[in-house]
Chain A
Amino acid sequence: MRFNKTLIIIFLFSLGTRVAAQTWVVPDDQKAVVAPLKFTPDMQKQGEQLYMKNCQSCHGLPGKDNWAKLTPPPGDLSKEKAQKQTDGEIFYRITTGKVPMPEFRNILPEDDRWSVIAYLRSFNPKYIQPNPVAKAAFTGRIVTLSMQYSEPMKKIVVTASEQLKDGQAGLASGVEIMLYVKRYFGKMQVGDVKTTNAKGQALFEFPADFPGNKDGYVEVSAMVNDPKSIMKTTPANATLAIGVPTDKPSLTATRAMWSTRDKAPVWILLTYTLSVIIVWGFIFYIIYSILKIKRLSNG
């Protein structure tokens, strides 16, 4: 009975995930996207390397059906089910991801994503690449950002200006702005995406406990949130004294049991040195006395 229940639960669960899997719909306009370049053997080679690093741990080696047993099943990408998708569909799925598949938007540049597709297509003898379509000439907004810190408001003010059709400059409203701070391994986003108001301004509150360098300086940059690249944008950068001055001592500053010899705890140095000197002092004294025995002899 319990076994049956388990079976039912497994069935329902797999049904559920199947439904979930089917809900990963690719918008029609994205389906129609084609690669900007002709797939070349070089691209395929590069795609192979990228595939091995980023995809193989789940999808396995193409043609080997050795993909990881996950839910939903990742599947072998050289097989019919994956290959019947358009290039645009595959590109969209790689770009956006869907748990547990990571989104590769920020991991692989566009060209690399196309290289992976070129590699996957090399397993499909029936595949004929549609004619490449280079990116259309730019027709969208041209936005330039500037940034300063407003002491009275305690906020970072990002101002977006744009080049209007008549060539005049104007304030750009409705532009989504992201604020980043430079860290050792990359940029960290601060706060949420903000949209510029009618004055072309977006105000960012800066966390009060954010560590800066030892004088409190932080390198901040503002960027336009434009995932579909419909604008031409110029980001703004500034070094502002808005962080908490951080000058932590080196982790090896103090004397400790684990420090190098130069920084050994004083009591250990003392105890060790003294014990050795005292005991060996006696030893040398005894050796010296022993040698005296010879001189004290009768003849």
Chain B
Amino acid sequence: MTMDDNNLTFDKITSDLTHHIRINKGFMVWMGFLTVSLAVCLYAYSMQLRTGLGVAGIRDYVTWGLYLANFVFFVAASLIGMLISAVLGLIGMKWLTPITRIAETIAVAFAAVAGLIIISDMGRPERLAYVFIYARPQSPILWDVTVITTYFVLSLLLLFLPLIADMAVIHRKVASLPSWLKPVYKSLSLNFTDRPEQNKIINRSIRILLILLIPAALSIHTVTSWLFAVTSRAGWDSTVFGPYFVSGAFVAGSAAVIIAMFFFRKNYKLQDYLTDMHFNNMGKVLATVSLVYLYFNINEFLVPGYKMKRADAVHLQELFAGKDALLFWVVQLGGLVLPILFMLFRRFRKPLPIMLISIAVLIAAWFKRYIIVIPTQEHPFLPIQHVPQNFVHYSPTLIETLITIAPFILVLIIITLISKFFPVIPLHETAREKGIEHIKFD
């Protein structure tokens, strides 16, 4: 710790972690910008609602396009909540405490929006309820809907439980809190008065959640990978797709957390809590999961590439040396191999460099989903003939791109709101870890 823990008081921590909870001009401008952008994208979606999925570039052969690639990306990014909170948390990595809420916020935001993306990819969105009414337990789509809902609720609870104590403090102590928000915090704090029975319930619930979160999180991305792996298409017909997707998800999620950490630290002045040590360690986490992901990438491409079965060969040739080669190699080298090499050095795990590396990794992670979803469909087993050119090669339309951007804006809105109105860093747990006595609740 760079901070002299002995000088800390609970009041100091409270003010450090909650001073940003106020409605200021910067927040209004940022939210205004996001809202206007979202409105533009929603207008694009209203056009799709009126005239059908044909406004997008997807057609009979490439039938899953940007929307589905985006969906996979969002599910992937949401998985980080489980890695940080459950896996590393249960192992007992104490340095993670200030990052848990960031990770859970990202998990909640991305999981919630992933569900919405699927609706934007439906030809008949008004029939969404049919998924439950006529639910077919053999379809991976039902599994996916089930596990994403479950994971979202688990993550939301895991975000909420540590907040109970924090909100009890906020509505009592934070002067900058707008008066109309006070009753909201008060009721959300559930009359928490730091009694042992209350703490016991919270702690036990958190433990159960942490344990449930691991299978739920593994399921969401494994099942999402099965949307592809249960088909016999070249490039999708793979037995390592589950772990391949899960490890890739950790890469995307870790990168997202690092980026969020960087901006929260800067904007909310959390330098004392999100220290270079945290970035250094998160850099190690990112490097580790990237190495695992690289390992699965090698499996995923080397094994079929060695055999070059007919359908695989067409697909792989396009990826390695054909139409998609530039994208493929930029993503694999620039988004995975080079970042790993950089991250081996401590100086690249400082806040700014690791944030820049994370941005590169995150962008590459999005395009990686594109590479997984689209090229396979351009090479079906039987030739594509007697159809218009735009059926043969997929190119996204403007409307489709706008509808694809909308989820990012939504995620930013959700993250902004959560981080603006709640402490980015768990208040109570930080105090506890530093051995500071709890405040008295009157």
Contact = CB atoms under 8 A, between A and B. Distances in A.
B146 A282 contact: no
A1 interface: no
Nearest to B158: A286
Interface string A210-254: 000000000000000000000000000000000000000000000
Given A290-B161, A290-B201, A269 B137 contact: yes
Interface string B118-142: 0000000000000000111110001
Contacts, number: 76
B102 to A, nearest CB: 22
Contacts of B138: 257-259, 261, 264-265, 268
B190 A293 contact: yes
Given A261-B136, A268-B138, A297 B198 contact: yes
A130 interface: no
B157 A286 contact: yes
Contact of A293 (B136, B142, B153, B191): B191
A286 B193 contact: no
Interface in A259-278: 259-261, 264-265, 268-269, 272-273, 276
A280 interface: yes
B395 interface: no
B164 to A, nearest CB: 7
B195 A283 contact: no
Contact of A289 (B153, B154, B195, B205): B205
B190 A283 contact: no
A293 B191 CA distance: 7
Q: How large is the interface on B (under 10, 10 to 19, 20 to 34, 35 or more residues)?
A: 20 to 34
Contacts of B190: 290-291, 293-294, 297
Contacts of B154: 283
Contacts of B146: 272, 276
B136 A260 contact: yes
Contact of B205 (A265, A269, A290): A290
Interface string B158-198: 00110010000000000000000000000000111101011
Contact of A283 (B137, B153, B197, B204): B153
Contacts of B191: 293-294, 297, 299
B219 to A, nearest CB: 8
A287 interface: yes
A283 B164 CA distance: 17
Nearest to B215: A279
Interface string B372-414: 0000000000000000000000000000000000000000000
B212 A279 contact: yes
A71 B201 CA distance: 88
Given A286-B209, A294-B190, A261 B195 contact: no
B208 interface: yes
Contacts of A298: 193, 195, 441
Contacts of B288: none
A194 B191 CA distance: 100
Tell me which of B154, B195, B205 has the highest count of chain A C-beta atoms within 10 A of its own C-beta: B205
A296 B135 CA distance: 40
A271 to B, nearest CB: 8
B250 interface: no
Contacts of B192: 293, 297
Interface of A: 257-261, 264-265, 268-269, 272-273, 276, 279-280, 282-283, 285-287, 289-294, 296-299
Given A264-B136, A293-B191, 11 more contacts: A260-B136, A261-B138, A264-B138, A282-B208, A283-B150, A283-B154, A283-B212, A289-B205, A290-B205, A296-B201, A298-B441
Interface of B: 134-138, 142-143, 146, 150, 153-154, 157, 160-161, 164, 190-193, 195, 197-198, 201-202, 204-205, 208-209, 212, 216, 441
16 contacts: A261-B134, A264-B137, A264-B138, A283-B150, A287-B157, A289-B201, A290-B160, A290-B161, A293-B190, A293-B198, A294-B191, A296-B195, A296-B201, A297-B190, A297-B191, A298-B441
Closest 9 pairs between A and B when the two form their complex, measured CB to CB:
A297-B191, A298-B193, A272-B137, A294-B190, A296-B197, A286-B205, A293-B190, A289-B201, A261-B136
